Amino acid sequence: MILENDVIPILKELIKFRTVNPPGKTIEAIKYVAKMFENLDIKCKIQEYIEGHANLIAEYGEGAESVILCGHMDVVPAGDESKWSYPPFSGEEHGGKIYGRGSTDMKGAIASFIAVIKYLKQQNVKLNGKIKLLITSDEEIGMEGAKVSLKAGEMENCNFILIGEPTELKIAKAQKGVLWIKIKITGESAHGSTPHLGVNSIEAATELIPKMKETVPDLNHHLLGKSTLNIGQIKGGTAPNVVPEYCEFTLDYRIIPNVNRETIKESIKNIINDFNENNKSQAEMEIMHNTPSIDMTQESRFLDLLKRRAEKDNYGSIFGVTFGTDGAILVPENNTAFAIFGPGRLDKLHVTDEYTLKEEVVLYSNIILDTILKHDK
């Protein structure tokens, strides 16, 4: 059994590393984890793919097939640190809560994964399979660490990947895909007192924006609901007295698995083509970010065991997540069985005074450990 002192001190230390993205430098935190494993003679390696940006891969067991425990070390900025009740990189504990940036997203799960592998080694547990820990970087911006690990072959012979993103110990079997598109509009500048001599790109944007809502397919997924669109940014103009010659706005689609994203792109192209034929302003689209949705539909003994073990403590209900994870990069190539399951409240993601519950992290550690032991029999 994993005890509080086996995992919580690790979590507190991880929070102290400022793995903020940007700039996303995680190497010191990765070296800290590697040193722990090296001291126990646990096989591990560091993948530093950009200076200061690194993944860690650790392995326990000798089997050909593996279960991968996956988490990302980078965290979002803390914002105005003076607004935090406790310093965001101190890892302080108050009232059973561990405070700090990354405590929920997602160093709590990483600490648990480390504690599980340490326990297996210290107890000299014999496994028929292999447990692999994959700690990535740059998940918050571009998922570059996951891309590097996939290219390096880390997903080969993996029959299940557990992504420890915060889910309040519910089990996510589906994740929406992400499609970010920038719409760029050009007009013609003129003096603000003679707007009829120019072509106003901002006014053109206001004509296009409502039409974008028509591009969201009206389909439903049993765990994720419908696809969504958020128009998150708009930029344009240089001064109040200048007709703006350029404007851009961004579209953030979160797409359910049963939607063809090419249909969305085609709808946008049609709207733009029609607009360009009938306006002096001209628009074009740029794909900024594109990651697939994932949907766990196959049978999985590991997932069944995980659900049963979580249910013993009244957790483990099934749902879907709307946010992105490294699973979007790691799962699709081989249609690997997966679950997104971790400690941490969903309303504590990316907020001031982020915290995770100490007892939840300890419980999570033991749920994972017990599932691994049961799965290996």
Domain interval for residue 281: 177-291
Last residue of a domain, one of 231, 264, 291: 291
pLDDT given for residue 376 in this prediction: 87
Among residues 139, 165, 326, 354, the one annotated as catalytic is 139
**Domain check: are 105 and 246 in the same one?**
no
The letter for the amino acid at 219 is: L
**Domain check: are 327 and 207 in the same one?**
no
**Domain check: are 54 and 195 in the same one?**
no
Q: Report the percent of the chain where pLDDT is more than 90.
A: 99
- Residues in the chain, overall count: 377
Task: Quick: pLDDT tens for 281-336.
Answer: 999 999 999 999 999 999 999 999 999 999 999 999 999 999 999 999 999 999 99
Query: Does the pLDDT value for residue 60 go beyond 90?
Result: yes
**Domain check: are 238 and 253 in the same one?**
yes
347 is catalytic: no
**Domain check: are 102 and 73 in the same one?**
yes
Antiparallel, parallel or unpaired: β 177-186 and 130-136: unpaired
Query: Does the pLDDT value for residue 249 go beyond 90?
Result: yes
Q: What is the CATH number for 133?
A: 3.40.630.10
pLDDT given for residue 63 in this prediction: 86
Instruction: Identify the band that residue 353 occupies on the pLDDT scale cut at 50, 70 and 90.
Output: very high
**Domain check: are 210 and 280 in the same one?**
yes
Task: Quick: pLDDT tens for 202-248.
Answer: 999 999 999 999 999 999 999 999 999 999 999 999 999 999 999 99
74 is catalytic: yes
pLDDT given for residue 290 in this prediction: 94
Residues 6+ apart with CB under 8 A from 65: 129, 130, 157, 158, 159
Rounded to 5 degrees, φ, ψ at 124 are 55, 45
Cα gap 10→108, rounded to integer Å: 9
**Domain check: are 275 and 300 in the same one?**
no
CB-CB contact of 339 with 172 (8 Å): yes
Bridge partners, residue 20, by sequence? 75
Last residue of a domain, one of 262, 291, 320: 291
Angle between helices 108-122 and 358-375 (to 10 degrees): 50
pLDDT given for residue 377 in this prediction: 79
CA distances from 72 to 150, 257, 281, 330 (A): 14, 24, 43, 13
Mean residue pLDDT across the chain: 97
Number of independent structural domains in the chain? 2
Last residue of a domain, one of 236, 262, 291: 291
Find the mean pLDDT for residues 259-271. 96
Cα gap 224→319, rounded to integer Å: 8
| Cα-Cα-Cα-Cα dihedral sign, residues 103, 124, 302, 32 | positive
**Domain check: are 35 and 140 in the same one?**
yes
- Burial string for 296-316 (b: 16+ CB within 10 Å, else e) reads beeebebbebbbebbeeeebb
CB-CB contact of 187 with 200 (8 Å): yes
**Helix H or strand E encompassing 351:** none
Among residues 74, 144, 165, 168, the one annotated as catalytic is 74
Q: Using alpha carbons only, what angle is made at residue 118 by residues 66 and 33, rounded to the nearest 5 degrees?
A: 90
